[in-house]
Structure 1
Amino acid sequence: MSAIWIGFFCFVAILLFLDLFVLNRKDHVPRTSEALKWTAMWTTIGLGFSGFVYLAYGNGWVDSELTANQAVINYLTGYLVELSLSMDNVFVIALIFAYFRVPAMYQHRVLFWGILGAIFFRLIMILAGVYLLDRFDWMFYVFGLLLLYSALKMTKDAEDVPPSENPVIKFIKRVVPVTKHYHGNRFWIKKRGVRAATPLFIALMMVETTDVIFAIDSIPAILGITTDSFLVFSSNILAILGLRSLYFVLSRMLDKFAYVKISLALILAFVGIKMILHEVWHAPDWVSLVVIFGLLAGGIAVSLLRPAPVDAPVDPTENPPRP
């Protein structure tokens, strides 16, 4: 592993350490103003990292044929794609927390540990995706069709499937005992001499598996922008690092973004078409950035100007979790 990869992992580890053990040592419910402040901080870090990308690719620290300007544009485009698709993930996480009635003060803890699993699984999926695209040109068409299918599916109302029907959750409940009540912020406890999982751990596993499912859409979408593994991974991870604070902002305003789903579907469709036409259509890198930013901004603007009545998920409370 090259020094730049090791340095990036160290950078992410420092950010996570500061987040959990310094900035958020005590479990609490972030106020909207606090969540906005942290969202601004994570966004600044994500966008500011483009400066490092410029230096790294401009000085040859990364073995790549991309120029510094191309690398920055691809990074920012990938970051924007993952950040926008994370908005859809927020909707699902809000439903999971509401279903399991996760106490609001412990939700940040679940999201934090969910990030660690996301880093591991996304690294594997990104390296596998880059490997396939480098060696099999027809995989561009497979990923393109997958994105078009995902875009079509996103425009339709999904059937509500109870999280308890998730096969991973069923497996956990068969293998280990699960308590019926929360025990503070603990994922595991000892009950009559036997280690038992708490509902907080079940919610964590649900968030984790949901992130993997969403990554099946978001990673091919970023690979449609660039196949540079470092740009794909760094833009992906820095975008989801801000997902926790973004959740506490958007989960309270879900009814205000009714048309964002359409924007996300159009973004997936655009990247899917771009991948399918990769041999005949060679648009400049900045075109993707402008189109994706325009679609996302348009969806947010229409949602704010013409709010549609939607049912927002119930705010999680201190009530006992579902059995």
Structure 2
Amino acid sequence: MSNELLFLSGFILFIVIILLLDLGLFSKKDAPVSLKQAGLMSFFIVLLSMGFYILLTYYGHHIHNIDTVDRLQEIVAKHKHPIQVNPDNLEHSIMLYDKNLGLEFLTGYLVEYALSVDNIFVILLVFSGFGVAPRNYHRVLFWGIFGAIVMRFLFIFIGAALIQKFEWIMYVFGAFLIYTGIKMFIDRNKDEEIDPQHHPIVKFAQKHFKVHNQFVGNKFFVVVDGIKKMTPLFLVLIIVEATDLIFAVDSIPAIFSITKDPYIVFFSNIFAIIGLRSMFFLLAGIVDKFRFLKIGLAALLAFIGLKMVFHHYLEAIGFGTSESLIVIMSILLISIGTSLLFPEKKAKKA
């Protein structure tokens, strides 16, 4: 087994252990997740993410089994890392490579984590629209994350293969992100609603499968009169998965603007996803307070799209990963800071 597959297998096993730990230690059966539990788990996941960043910064070259100048030059050219390899100094070149790899992971993680906040808006709408009991939130999100990991894995490695073969796809991704950013800005004040009766997934399920008409605790399936039926909670799970699929169409191309290494794209994506569940419980009650966050996310998508379209020009003037990180952090800090400094005024009651 190659170093890449060995590292990837170990990483996936590590993530499965973390998710099982999350489910077992931080989620009591049939009990809503408290703010304290969500805060502890969020801190734990962020700490793990930063630990992984440090690991890549010092030992990232082991992922692709880089031990010679030729191998280093091959990987740098293949994934278009913005570093200069010195053929006479392998140790220094590897140090530059590892440092850049860690920075790419950190930037991708930050982008994905920020875009996940918009995902929380939609999941909240789904839960409230379907009348899901708070004690069942954690079950839906837990299994939703498992499905999201599988989908992201397929999306990322297929996307990487396409970019390697057809470099012009980067321009398509870039144009799509610019369009998405503009659309998000235009639609930022629209009131979104979820209509359970007319939702396409609900109508499809009712037409082709046996669907029970009410929730049964935290069960996804129930046997009624000898017939196995899916419950509304399972439909909610499918809708959450479909929602993540839609968001993946934005977030995965966004990270490919930062790094072309599919392993780094996958690692940063998955760390952000496993942190989504705990972040949901932290932000569920206050996410509407960040009134300018939608504008910030729209600007973030537009910036990343422009970066993908003009990447050759930006590389020529030395605009690399560290500069992208500064711009991304600035956009997020400004949108969050202005939201806190200028909260939305509530209409006075007559």
Partner of 1:160: 192
Does structure 2 conserve the Cα–Cα contact (< 8 Å) formed by 1:169 and 1:205?
A: no
Return the alpha-carbon distance in structure 1 between the equivalents of residues 125 and 231 of structure 2. 19
1:253 corresponds to which residue?
286
Alignment partner, residue 318 of structure 1: none
Give me the TM-score of the superposition, normalised by structure 1. 0.91
> Is structure 2 residue 314 aligned with structure 1 residue 278?
no
CA distance in 2, matches of 1:197, 1:16: 25
Structure number with greater CO (CA < 8 Å, separation at least 6) is: 1
Q: Over alpha carbons, which structure has the higher Rg?
A: 2
Offset, 1:310: 8.3
Q: Alpha-carbon deviation of 1:225?
A: 0.6
Mapped pair 1:40 → 2:72: no
Identify the residue that residue 49 of structure 1 maps to in structure 2: 52
Aligned residue pairs total 311
Distance 1:173 1:308 in 2: 41
Deviation at 1:4, TM superposition (A): 0.6
Counterpart for residue 308 of structure 1: 344
User: Are residues 199 and 259 of structure 1, via their aligned partners in 2, closer, same or farther at CA, if it must alter by over 3 Å?
Assistant: same
Once residues 269 and 194 of structure 1 are traced to their aligned partners in structure 2, the CA distance between those partners, rounded to angstroms, is: 50
Distance 2:61 2:168 in 1: 31
Structure 2 residue matching 1:189: 3-state secondary structure? strand
Cα distance, 1:22 vs structure 2: 3.7
RMSD, aligned α-carbons? 1.8
The answer as to 2:125 corresponding to 1:95 is yes
Q: CA separation of 1:262/1:240 partners in 2, compared to 1, >3 Å: closer, same or farther?
A: same
Q: Does 1:2 align with 2:34?
A: no
- In structure 2, relative to structure 1, the CA distance for the partners of 1:310 and 1:14 (3 Å cut) is farther
- Unaligned runs of at least 5 residues, structure 1: 312-323
- Listed as ranges, the gaps of 5+ residues in structure 2 are 67-74, 82-96
Amino acid at match of 1:168: I
Tell me by how many angstroms 1:115 deviates: 0.4
Provide the residue aligned with 1:203 in structure 2. 236
1:192-231 alignment, distance < 5 Å:
192-231=225-264
Q: 3-state DSSP class of the match of 1:279?
A: helix
SS of corresponding position for 1:182: coil
Query: What is aligned with 1:14?
Result: 17
Equivalences for residues 109-258 of structure 1 within 5 A: 109-157=139-187, 158=190, 160=192, 162-164=194-196, 165-258=198-291
Provide the identity percentage: 40
Q: How does 1:53-68 map to 2 (within 5 A)?
A: 53-59=56-62, 61-62=64-65, 64-65=75-76, 67-68=97-98
User: Quick check: 1:255–1:308 contact (8 Å CA) kept in 2?
Assistant: no
Question: Structure 2 counterpart of 1:244, which letter?
Answer: R
